A and B are shown apart, each in its own frame.
Chain A
């Protein structure tokens, strides 16, 4: 299993490179994970998406798809792609410390 070094701590990653343990996550970890995805600074709009992802995950046990994000997060598709280029659902799940959404097969 691969690991990542954040703020002096070694955190385990799953096969997709997402955090293996939800409990390892905090906001500082999120900022570091975001840098790994090429996002230098997390704005309020980023946090709105990340917090929404975590909420849905806690309720359903799965991170939402891009469609569900667009419908319910309050951020439209266009902006999602500018906040999290290439793959908003996949990238925001990773930064939120969640496994890759099952919809992304």
Chain B
């Protein structure tokens, strides 16, 4: 019996489990997946909770609903990976050995990395929306808020889902307009990047949306500390921005198990070959999703496209071939822009987001880098696709590598 071990049953780990359980001969392979939690979160839905569009029950399901039959599931924290011994130690004291390992341990917010962020105002006037607890606390706050200075800040890059902070301020504009108090709410978007987004063309177009929606942008702001007493954020070069409510995207880091195993970089992300998805230095370990150091977005769509590539390369490697499939960094993101509309971007390592139609040239139905109702429906439909197709490892009608068809240079 050959042993495949998957660490992490989030979006990426669950997709790989389903794809491979379906493919590998169960008389030759035993498959084990380990995760410390029993609940699966639909993380793209967290964004909607503060604005009362979704509640907690819209974004959770038991992980067991998505596990195929015939695989071993272990609910435990992971103590340490010993890659040279092909062995993993669990926090429940079990020791697992493997022939092949897939690491999908994700990324977490680390508010404690910034001085003052978890001070007395944490979850009172300072909120995150990357955890369900933070998103719900913020929903409660907004319900009773009469207006004032709303500051959103990105602490440092990279972060999970780099478009979510923009979506948040767009939705805030829409939400407070509908509540009739938009004139009393000053919305401020603060980022360490030189503009609204990471790539130049999208940055300029999305920056124009900020202006149009009367959202103030402060670029090049690297957060040093949060001053709870005076309610302001302070940058390393001592620029200060006051807030009444701070919605922060804290530092993102890979799981502590990666650090304990000595397998990560300074943010606990795993050095991974950006094309084959094999962990550098090992010929039987793959990494997928947010836990890697790939220069691509940390997002579910990226994990999905990676899963197709990893699947092919896994079959190559177990049959003694060199991995032939190459990941191109493809990301596809629906950006909610408020008032029932959305913007779509599609890009990879080498091609920045461009305007045009998607997926069919000239037809769409989706429009790239433009605000349309159809793009919003794409996002709404996606939750159904996520639960029913994506997690179960089924085919989606989008190619894993990016296509230039329909894009305008």
Contact = CB atoms under 8 A, between A and B. Distances in A.
Nearest to A67: B266
A81 B295 contact: no
A87 interface: yes
The 10 closest A-B pairs by CB, nearest first: A81-B236, A67-B266, A68-B266, A81-B237, A86-B220, A105-B198, A102-B295, A85-B237, A105-B295, A77-B236
A51 B156 CA distance: 24
Contacts of B267: 65, 67
A36 to B, nearest CB: 16
Nearest to B236: A81
A105 B158 contact: yes
Interface of B: 156-158, 198, 220, 222, 224, 235-237, 265-267, 295
Nearest to A71: B266
B363 to A, nearest CB: 31
10 contacts: A65-B267, A67-B156, A71-B266, A78-B224, A81-B222, A81-B237, A82-B237, A85-B237, A105-B157, A105-B198
A39 to B, nearest CB: 14
Contacts of A67: 156, 266-267
Interface string A78-95: 101110011100000000
A44 to B, nearest CB: 21
A103 interface: yes
A65 B266 contact: yes
Interface in A53-105: 65-68, 71, 77-78, 80-82, 85-87, 102-105
Contacts of B158: 103, 105
A87 B236 contact: no
Contacts of B224: 77-78, 81
Contacts of B237: 81-82, 85-86
B220 A87 contact: yes
Given A77-B224, A85-B237, A102-B295, 19 more contacts: A66-B222, A67-B266, A68-B265, A68-B266, A71-B266, A78-B236, A80-B236, A81-B222, A81-B235, A81-B236, A86-B220, A87-B220, A103-B157, A103-B158, A104-B157, A105-B157, A105-B158, A105-B198, A105-B295
Nearest to A90: B194
A47 B158 CA distance: 27
A81 B222 CA distance: 9
Contacts of A78: 224, 236
B109 to A, nearest CB: 16
B349 to A, nearest CB: 10
